[in-house]
Amino acid sequence: MVTPYPQALFMSTGKYHHHIGLNTWNGAGAPSPSEDSAGLKAYTLVYPEQNTLGEAIKNIEALGGKVDKEDETFITKDPAGNGIVLRIHQ
């Protein structure tokens, strides 16, 4: 939805300019920061209904990602080690 930037991707739904921005400005395959460093620890992606959430989980697992279930939410990590909480809108 946004003009391309080098090594960056902006994703959205509903024709919004972007909800999530991703980049590899530290370099592709850069090491994850240490657990005690300052910065983003986790973010939440909220899905409209169970089927869409299920598709996202299948896609993550198909790419080799691990998804754990905790109560009614699912937890995974992005390549930088940030936690991603996946849940449906309530």
Q: Model-level pTM?
A: 0.76
Could you tell me if 57 and 86 are in contact, meaning their C-beta atoms sit under 8 angstroms apart? yes
Q: What percent of the chain has pLDDT over 90?
A: 43
Structure tokens at 65: 């990602």
Residues contacting 25, CB < 8 A, separation 6+:
7, 8
pLDDT band at 53 (very low <50, low <70, confident <90, very high): very high
pLDDT for 30: 84
Locate the domains of the chain by residue range: 8-27+40-88
15-48 pLDDT per residue, tens:
777 778 888 888 878 888 888 888 888 999 999 9
Q: Is the pLDDT of residue 1 over 60?
A: no
> Could you tell me the fold of the domain covering 8-27+40-88?
2,3-Dihydroxybiphenyl 1,2-Dioxygenase; domain 1 (3.10.180)
What is the reported pLDDT for 2?
59
